Amino acid sequence: MITPDFTAFERLQTAVDAAGVGTWDYDLLADTLTWSPRCKELFGVPVEQSVTYADFVALVHPDDRAATIAAVEHAFDPTGSGSYDIEYRTRWQLPGQPVLWARATGRAFFDEGGTRVYRFIGTITDVTAMRQLQEQLTRSY
């Protein structure tokens, strides 16, 4: 039997898949990071492979790591909004293809006291084509 909630989830998952959006969910209490198949694809990680936060950091391009870590720390700051929005390069790229640029957005969820992050959830999209267009426009001026 399909329940209304299950149907709503299916609709959401279909829309997310159609948009090429990956999802991620970091449960800090259990110290588990869950990536959707699309998220793993953007980092060149096999679907069956599990990923840790340390793996994520290692998969970010070395020149973008410090800013990416700072953005996570900013999201985890209890005096802030908990929001996360950053673009960075991944270390993975197909032969003959440009470096992949990703945009990650998300939100940190705090405990009742508002002092400790217990969950960090968001999305990731491939923005390589947009970055290439920006570079072309910059070069043409």
**CA atoms within 13 A of residue 48's CA, in its CB half-sphere:** 0
DSSP letter at 109? E
User: Looking at this protein, which amino acid is placed at residue 109?
Assistant: F
User: Is 1's pLDDT higher than 50?
Assistant: no
pTM: 0.85
**Amino acid 28: pLDDT:** 96
Tokens of 21: 């959006």
Domains of the chain: 22-140 (3.30.450.20)
Q: Tell me what the mean pLDDT of segment 38-64 comes to.
A: 94
